[in-house]
């Protein structure tokens, strides 16, 4: 039998306090219908992962219980529950508000935030290492492109866009940045990188600490303003894209400019004929994951599908897709909380089932956070698949300018 709720344990001020933290999100319309739990793929897989129980504790004013509820950090903040909610209650926003009240977030989350504030990027890459990595990439691209005059544009004023990326593309996976810059070259893009602030990620999207969130994102936006770029293009990272969009909508008061995901730019270039592609170069069956921060939360769904259908021969959709997609299980900063590795693999099972059902040999994962989870689940569940970003598939399909046109598909 459940423990009785005692009236003296209820704090009627909690609702108002949480409402003040949510900045526009309203949870007072909750009907206690349980559709949030029905929509959550993890409520039956992981203990203390029931959104209905959590929001009822908030509504009742069970302050001590809710502030110590494991749900706060178990939740992946994927908003799959909100899609099913008839009243549109955003439980992820409530979760984030309670995270912001936590003095020391679990795992490496606070360490990542501190590094970003102190060094300008989440992985504490020093300026000399950043500069030398770009110099090395420039040399590699000169050889790859057979263009000894190729230069990576840095601090170029009045460019069409400034490119914001992920520190992992400098510290651990520079070949991924090389791939993107190759695609930029093929499209004859007028862009720039910043010499100062280039990391578009912001771990405080997950810790809920709004003052630190602003301290991390503001310098990136100030660089766009300083260089007078027409827009900010964010790399294949749902977390970086979402945090940049949130900062722009909620906090930025400087020059107005669009913030777009790189897949939107790729789609434009294909429509304009700026990328010459031969999808027969990607003959294996491919499926694509919809990152929660990109698709469900920010509504970018069609551009990546337009792109992938132009770069692979055999595209297979997962079901469900779009805003109803299943989170990979690593959202909400779970990758930085080491204790959740087994939990992440448990939560990965619904996505694994989706992958297997498609029969695809390649998973296209347009998100840095998600692809790390997919690589882990690939090994854990012995799927034998290849996992690639969309940029890699585009680069594979590129045709040199002097090559003949590929025959049209019949």
Say if residues 243 and 205 touch (Cβ distance below 8 Å): yes
The reply to whether 48 and 124 lie within a common domain is no
Alpha helix stretches (DSSP H) within 282-324:
302-311
Q: In the numeric block, which tokens belong to residue 131?
A: 């500069």
Say if residues 358 and 284 touch (Cβ distance below 8 Å): no
The reply to whether 228 and 336 lie within a common domain is no
The reply to whether 243 and 123 lie within a common domain is yes
Is residue 410 situated within a structural domain? no
The pLDDT tens digits for 74-126 are 999 999 999 999 999 999 999 999 999 998 999 999 999 999 999 999 999 99
Task: Provide the CA 307 distance to its chain's centre, in angstroms.
Answer: 18
Q: In the numeric block, which tokens belong to residue 270?
A: 């294909």
Q: How confident is the model at residue 249 (pLDDT cuts 50, 70, 90)?
A: very high
Report how many domains make up the chain: 3
pTM exceeds 0.85: yes
**Averaged over 137-144, what is the pLDDT?**
98
The reply to whether 115 and 240 lie within a common domain is yes
**Averaged over 359-385, what is the pLDDT?**
97
The reply to whether 136 and 220 lie within a common domain is yes
The pLDDT tens digits for 177-205 are 999 999 999 999 999 999 999 999 999 99
The reply to whether 113 and 262 lie within a common domain is yes
Within 10 angstroms of residue 221's Cβ, the number of other Cβ atoms is 25
**Averaged over 152-161, what is the pLDDT?**
98
Domain assignment of residue 152, given as a range: 109-267
């Amino acid at each position: 039998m459940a423990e009785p709720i005692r009236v003296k344990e209820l704090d009627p001020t909690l609702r108002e306090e949480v409402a003040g933290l949510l900045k526009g999100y309203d949870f007072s319309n909750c009907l206690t219908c349980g559709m949030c739990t029905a929509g959550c793929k993890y409520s039956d897989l992981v203990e203390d992962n029931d959104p209905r129980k959590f929001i009822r504790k908030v509504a009742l004013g069970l302050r001590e219980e809710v502030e110590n509820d494991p749900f706060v950090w178990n939740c992946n903040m994927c908003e799959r529950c909100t899609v099913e909610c008839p009243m549109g209650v955003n439980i992820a926003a409530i979760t984030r508000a309670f995270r912001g009240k936590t003095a020391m977030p679990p795992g490496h989350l606070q360490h990542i935030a501190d590094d970003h504030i102190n060094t300008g990027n989440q992985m504490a890459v020093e300026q000399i290492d950043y500069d030398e990595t770009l110099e090395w990439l420039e040399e590699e691209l000169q050889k790859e492109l057979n263009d000894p005059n190729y230069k990576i544009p840095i601090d170029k004023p009045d460019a069409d866009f400034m490119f914001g990326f992920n520190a992992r593309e400098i510290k651990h996976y520079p070949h991924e940045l090389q791939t993107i810059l190759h695609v930029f070259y093929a499209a004859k893009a007028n862009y720039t990188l910043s010499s100062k602030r280039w990391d578009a990620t912001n771990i405080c999207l997950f810790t809920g600490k709004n003052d630190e969130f602003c301290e991390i994102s503001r310098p990136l936006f100030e660089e766009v303003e300083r260089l007078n770029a027409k827009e900010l293009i964010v790399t294949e990272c749902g977390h970086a894209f979402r945090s940049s969009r949130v900062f722009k909508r909620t906090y930025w008061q400087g020059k107005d400019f669009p913030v777009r995901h790189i897949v939107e730019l790729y789609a434009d270039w294909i429509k304009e004929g700026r990328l010459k592609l031969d999808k027969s170069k990607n003959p294996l069956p491919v499926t694509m994951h919809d990152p929660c921060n990109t698709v469900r939360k920010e509504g970018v769904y069609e551009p990546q599908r337009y792109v992938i259908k132009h770069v692979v021969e055999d595209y297979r959709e997962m079901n469900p897709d779009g805003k109803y997609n299943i989170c990979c299980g690593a959202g909400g900063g779970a990758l930085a909380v080491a204790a959740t590795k087994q939990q992440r693999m448990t939560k990965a099972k619904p996505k694994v089932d989706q992958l297997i059902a498609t029969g695809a040999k390649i998973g296209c994962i347009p998100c840095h956070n998600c692809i790390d989870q997919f690589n882990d689940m690939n090994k854990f569940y012995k799927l034998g698949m290849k996992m690639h970003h969309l940029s890699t598939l585009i680069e594979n399909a590129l045709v040199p300018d002097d090559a003949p046109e590929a025959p049209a598909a019949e």
